[in-house]
Chains A and B, each alone.
Chain A
Amino acid sequence: MSTKNWPLWEIFVRSKNGLEHRHFGSLHAADAEMALENARDVYTRRNEGVSIWVVESKNITASNPENNGELFEPAQDKVYRHPTFYDLPDEVKHM
């Protein structure tokens, strides 16, 4: 019997129409079709979703945590990039 593990897949689920697909987790499957079925059983059995995307994990290019300094720290002291300096009229709610 083969003891080799199936490849890993990343699972994205849209919880209702109009919302974006969000990363829900990962699981093992032999191919994309099986990954969809496994995702259906593992992640949507409590009515969590209306659509599923699966992507084999090896196809995801990730940023390297070692580069976090140059990638993300420069943004920390640039509050002016947030649109927080506008005066909002009282009539505008939920901004």
Chain B
Amino acid sequence: MKNENLYNYILGIADNSLILGQRMGELCGHGPNLETDIACTNISLDLFGQVRSYFQYAAKIAGDERSEDDIAMLRKEREYKNVLLVEQPNTNFAYTLGRQFLFDVYHLAFLKELQKSTDLTLSAIANKCVKEVSYHERFSSDWIKRLGDGTEESNAKMQEAINDLWTYTDELFHQTNADKAMLAEGIGVDVTKLKEDYYNRVNAVLEVATLNTPESKWFQKGGKEGIHTEHLGYLLSDLQYMQRTYPNMEW
């Protein structure tokens, strides 16, 4: 493939939205109440919509038989490039919102930079996504504040979720080879530069939420290189079930 770095770069962005979208979609019909259920499903649909734009572009770059659906549905676990954070399960509502919040803050900052990309397709996609993700970030940070600064029970659950998910945050700022190549061409975003603002914003919300910033300096990594936690395999077996069982099925 001529543009392999660009192809991999697009997948690196889109897989985060795909896997997080699938996680939020799992709550469809299972949210804590009707209103929140719809809110979570809306976020899921926003993310899937973004994924389509990215994968349509990636399929064009690949320039072979691959379609957007093939890219989404027919890769193996090690070929997904999403960060470990987004594949973590919906252990409870605090984990769902904690995961969403820790990703949204990064996602919004990332898209604001991607808007400046010299690749016009990517900057156009970023322009569209940035409004959706601004709302996601508002929604999730509001909930972090509510649950953190809520009852003793909600505070304890929220703190536990943040403590457990914290170890996956540093990976957001790791550069892959595709990241470095695209940065050099003016197409990609320098994720290392997003780190300081990210932790400032996250800490500011945690403070209002009366939650403690975890002190652990030990971080997990690997997702961007295709080395995932055990959870991704189960998620993919759900996501890919129809295409694997009835190849080329459409409806």
Contacts and interface: CB of A to CB of B under 8 A. Distances in A.
Interface of A: 1-2, 6, 27-30, 33-34, 37-38, 40-42, 45
23 contacts: A1-B153, A2-B151, A6-B33, A27-B35, A28-B33, A28-B34, A28-B35, A30-B146, A33-B142, A34-B142, A34-B146, A37-B39, A37-B139, A38-B35, A38-B36, A38-B38, A38-B39, A40-B135, A41-B38, A41-B39, A41-B42, A45-B38, A45-B42
B115 to A, nearest CB: 23
Given A30-B146, A34-B142, A42 B153 contact: no
**Most chain A beta-carbon neighbours within 10 Å: one of B39, B135, B151, B153:** B39
Contacts of A27: 34-35
Instruction: Give 8 nearest A-B pairs by CB, closest first.
Output: A38-B35, A41-B39, A41-B38, A41-B42, A27-B35, A42-B38, A45-B42, A42-B35
A57 to B, nearest CB: 14
Interface in B17-35: 33-35
B142 A37 contact: yes
Interface string B122-153: 00000000000001001100100010000101
A27 B135 CA distance: 20
A63 B74 CA distance: 60
A38 B146 CA distance: 15
Nearest to A27: B35
A41 B35 contact: yes
Interface residues of B, number: 14
Contacts, number: 31
B220 to A, nearest CB: 30
Contacts of B153: 1
Contact of B35 (A2, A29, A33): A29
Given A28-B34, A42-B34, A42-B38, 7 more contacts: A28-B33, A33-B142, A34-B142, A37-B138, A41-B35, A41-B39, A45-B38
A40 B134 CA distance: 14
B156 to A, nearest CB: 12
A46 to B, nearest CB: 11
Nearest to B153: A1
Contacts of A34: 142, 146
A28 B34 CA distance: 9
Contacts of B135: 40
Interface string B73-115: 0000000000000000000000000000000000000000000
A11 B36 CA distance: 16
**Most chain B beta-carbon neighbours within 10 Å: one of A2, A29, A33, A37:** A37
A30 B38 CA distance: 16
A81 B38 CA distance: 46
A31 to B, nearest CB: 9
Nearest to A2: B151
A44 B33 CA distance: 18
Contacts of A33: 142
A2 B35 CA distance: 17
B134 to A, nearest CB: 13
A30 B33 CA distance: 12
